[in-house]
Amino acid sequence: MAVTASACGGSAGGDDGEVTLRMSWWGSDSRHQLTQELIDAFEAEHPGITIEPEFTGWDDYWDRLATSAAGNNIPDVMQQDTRYVREYADRDALLDLNEYIPGTLDTSKLDPSVTATGQVDGATYAIPTGINAYTVVTDPEIYQQAGMELPDDETWSWDEFIDTAAKLTRETPGGTYGTQNIGFVETGLEVFARQRGESLFDENDKLGVSDETLADWFRLILESSERKAEPRPSLTVETQAGGVDQSLLATNKGAMGTWWTNELPTLTGSAGHELTLLRFPGESQAEQPGMYFKPAMFWAASSRSEHPEEAATFINWLVNSPKAAQIQLSDRGLPINTELRERISDDLEAPDQQSAKFLEKIGTDLADPPALPPPGAGEVQDILLQINEQLLFGRLSADQAAQQFRDQASAAIG
Amino acid sequence: MRCAGLLVTEEPQAPSEGPPVTTRRTRRWPFRLNRPSLGESKVAYLFLTPWFLGLLLITLGPILASAYLSFTDYSLIGAPEWIGGDNYERMLSDPRFFQALKVTFTYVFVSVPLQLAFALVLALVLDKGVRGLAFYRSAYYLPSLLGASVAVAILWRQIFGSNGLINTALGSIGIEGLPGWVSTPDYALGTLIVLNVWTFGAPMVIFLAGLRQIPRMYYEAAAVDGAGRFRQFFTITLPLLSPIIFFNLVLQTISAFQTFTQSFIVSGGTGGPADSTLFYTLYLYQRGFGNFDMGYASALAWVLLLIVGGLTAVNFLASKYWVFYGDD
């Protein structure tokens, strides 16, 4: 505590000048408002520091960040994502925060296994904002409509998942489906691979998933489509493009879908009634648990920042200040600071409380999250999406899809 | 009308690309070359100055930079690294590059002729003196202004979606169970071609101007000689309009190659479904900004320039055989 205080005093008294930090994030309008509140609160506590906000939606964010990186002009503090941390860190664009730990930046209260995902070769390039888990979100009302019981998620297998979803489509009126396609996001494949003791990427930055696992994954997707567990491909493509808001769960047209826990409030809000979180199928038959706590997003600082000390101070405040936690609640995942996670739990909205309880329940069963994926991971996601579509429209067999994914993804991260 | 006039004076540039050996041209060519007086060229350059300034101050730097970057490995984040011709070589083994070429060429070769045919037919109809011509001209021109906009692309996605206007209309006459047009690989590109054809207004207005310049007396003389409507069209209208057709063809071909917004919006930036709308420029954008591959993206840009330049040259060469400049 004394160290932190002197560090703050030093920077404020040093040259007596006003320090301005640029900060960028992506998100929705509600996040923009929350973050502005965060900035105001921080500035009130740190009179010497002014924060200049820059915010956009997800897609524009990365175009913009890459372009400003080309001009050596990335913001002092930025929101980062698992897929992109190493793109920047490996090219020396991010500040190694180790120098400021534990003096300015206190990581002692942060969830250790998740915090480790911000590190590359011992250097700390990013601090997680909070935790998330990829789960099967389920609509109990549609199960009820079909006269079916919710599955037991502690025992259900992948076969059971497809059977259940196919039956749901059959037992409900037309236009209602068992599940939304689960093959568009790489995390589904990651969970599937981890259950078999593999991982999407290995520690040598190569693909860590075997041909057999890839082919089995694509077979599963194909089966889900062919057995009409999900809508027909063209509708699937449209639904996918609509994001969370237009998803089957949000529009009461599907009983299941794979989503991040921090998307539950949006899903619940649109669905208009309580949804249920389930574990991934296959967890009990698996070699090791496939599900994991994922850093929802990260805070990182620019290696070219003129005020690295202040940037670290700001990040420290964002993850450790009770005030910050109170403002953000679960917007950037459930707080990474475990004490604060407890403290705000009563203030959370119902769906977030539900997520928090779910994460607590499954937490004991989980293995450590995967390390940061290699540069090119963003492209691997694009490749998977494209191959998934080829597969759905019958342009590739499962084996061909596996082969193409391996070829293209290997080239992307090579 | 000004467009047509401008075109005729611009025309002498064309043969400079090939030896001026063909029949009609040779007679007119030296004659034309000496025509513009010093004062006239001064005025011409004066009018061109803003464009030249724009080129020099804004465009030239990035053009040269991209030429250099196309020979480097450049992630945007780090410094560019010289790798020689590797980027160009890499294209040969890049299946998505070929997919992008296929999509783009299909789009250009199908949509441009269709669009021009549509524009010409409507220009002919309007030229016959329809009541409320000004209204129709504006109404038909409107899509040209909107066609490349984000709003129309979004509208298109709705109209041709699974539960869009088209399927609803078809459903009401008993044709049901159709897939979404924009979201099925076999049809998605087709919907974008329809979108491009729909923006026929700009070439139509130019055609109209061209039709107005054809002297009425030709038609009167032809009618006296007993030529019917079709005969008149093929022997008078089409030859005298050929410079305008040529102008529209070159312009629309170039702009079709550069199509970006439509596929970006309709496919949500993916070029999907299953890469069926992966336009060349969209792929270039994905590589450069999505995949930290600006060196490769720059090389792609230069290849596109060569393709468009090459096709434009072919257009000009071929024009000798069908474009008639009406000297005698």
Mean pLDDT of the region A181-200: 95
| B291 interfacial to chain A (CB closer than 8 Å) | yes
CB-nearest partner of A70 from B76, B161, B286: B76
Asked if A413 reaches chain B (Cβ–Cβ under 8 Å), the answer is no
- What are the structural domains of chain B? 85-322 (1.10.3720.10)
Any idea which residue has 């120098």 for tokens? A99
What is the Cα–Cα distance from B16 to A214, expressed in whole angstroms?
Answer: 58
Read off the pLDDT of each residue in A78-95 and give the average, rounded to a whole number.
93
A91 contacts B75? CB cut-off 8 A: yes
| Digit-coded pLDDT (tens) for A271-320 | 999 999 999 999 999 988 999 999 999 999 999 999 999 999 999 999 99
Burial of B19 (0-12, 13-18, 19+ CB in 10 A): exposed
CATH class of A2-129+296-363: alpha beta
Q: Which of A210, A206, A179 is nearest to A194 (CA)?
A: A210
Q: Which residue has the higher pLDDT, A273 or A5?
A: A273
- Chain B contact for A62, CB < 8 A? yes
DSSP A224-235: HHHTTSS--HHH
Answer yes or no: do A385 and B270 touch at CB < 8 A.
yes
Name every chain B residue with its beta carbon within 8 A of the beta carbon of A385: 270, 272
Question: Is the CB of A20 inside 8 Å of chain B's CB atoms?
Answer: no
Name the residue of chain B whose CA is nearest to A236's CA.
B183
Judge whether A2-129+296-363 and A133-293+376-413 match in fold: yes
Fill in the DSSP letter of residue A333.
Answer: B
Mean pLDDT of A157-172: 96
> What per-residue confidence (pLDDT) applies to A219?
97
Smallest CA–CA distance, residue B294 to chain A, in Å, is 10
Single out the residue of A57, A50, A49 nearest to residue A32, CA to CA: A57
pLDDT attached to residue B327: 59
CA distance B309 to chain A (A): 28
What is residue A134's predicted lDDT score, i.e. its pLDDT? 95
Confidence band for A9, pLDDT divided at 50, 70 and 90: very low
Q: Indicate the average pLDDT of chain A.
A: 91
A67 to B180: CB separation less than 8 angstroms, yes or no: no
With 0-12 / 13-18 / 19 or more C-beta atoms within 10 angstroms meaning exposed / middle / buried, residue A67 is middle
**For chains A and B, what is the number of CB pairs under 8 angstroms?**
86
Provide ipTM, 2 decimals. 0.85
CA closest to A88 among chain B residues: B77
Closest Cα of chain B to A147: distance in Å?
27
pTM, entire model: 0.85
Q: Which candidate in B292, B293, B294 is best for mutational testing of the A interface (most A CBs within 10 A)?
A: B292
CA A405 distance to own-chain centroid:
22
Residues of B in contact with A85 (CB under 8 A): none
CB contact under 8 A, B77 and A378: no
State pLDDT tens for residues A371-413: 899 999 989 999 999 999 999 999 999 999 999 999 999 999 9
Substitution target in A386, A395, A403, A413 with the highest count of B β-carbons within 10 Å is A386
Of the pLDDT bands very low, low, confident and very high (cuts 50, 70, 90), residue A169 is very high
Alpha helices in B15-94 (DSSP H): 23-33, 38-54, 60-69, 86-91
pLDDT on residue B158: 87
Q: Residue B271: closest CA among chain A residues belongs to which residue?
A: A386
Q: Is A357 part of the contact surface with chain B (CB cutoff 8 Å)? A: no
Neighbours of A218 (CB within 10 A): 25
pLDDT for the residue A229: 97
Q: Does A158 touch chain B (CB under 8 A)?
A: no
Domain residue extents for chain A: 2-129+296-363, 133-293+376-413
Q: Given pLDDT bands bounded at 50, 70 and 90, which one contains residue A3?
A: very low
What is residue B109's predicted lDDT score, i.e. its pLDDT? 96
Q: Which residue from A59, A69, A235 is facing B269, i.e. has the nearest CB? A: A59
**DSSP characters over A146-204:** TT-PPP-TTT--HHHHHHHHHHHHHHS-TT-EEE----SSHHHHHHHHHHTT--SB-TT
Burial of residue B326 (number of CB atoms within 10 Å: 0-12, 13-18, 19+): middle
Comparing C-alpha atoms, which of A23, A88, A94, A25 is closest to residue A58?
A25
What is the model's pLDDT at position B326? 63
pLDDT computed for residue B39 by the predictor:
77
Interface test mutation site (partner A, options B72, B74, B160, B183, max chain A beta carbons within 10 A) = B183
Any idea which residue has 């998942």 for tokens? A161
- Residues in A closer than 8 angstroms to B81, CB to CB, are none
Here the tokens at position A340 are 């604060």
B183 and A CB contact within 8 Å: yes
Residues of chain B with pLDDT under 50: 1-33, 328
CA distance between the termini of chain A = 45
Q: With 50 as the cut, is the pLDDT of residue A22 above it?
A: yes
- Does the domain at residues A133-293+376-413 carry the CATH identifier 3.40.190.10? yes
Query: Per-residue pLDDT averaged across A225-233, rounded?
Result: 96
- The Cα of A379 is separated from the nearest Cα of chain B by a number of Å equal to 6
Find the residue in A nearest to B157 (Cα): A238
From residue B112, how far is each of B116, B233, B252 by CA, in Å? 6, 21, 6
Are A240 and A118 within 8 A, CB to CB? Answer: no
Distance of residue A91 Cα from the nearest chain B Cα, in angstroms: 6
Q: Which residue of A has its CA nearest to B188?
A: A234
Which chain B positions have a beta carbon within 8 Å of A92's beta carbon? 78
Strand partners, A201: A207
Measured CA to CA in angstroms, residue B13 lies from A379, B2, B29, B32 at distances of: 45, 18, 10, 11
Predicted confidence at residue A320, as pLDDT, reads: 95
A66 touches chain B (CB under 8 A): yes
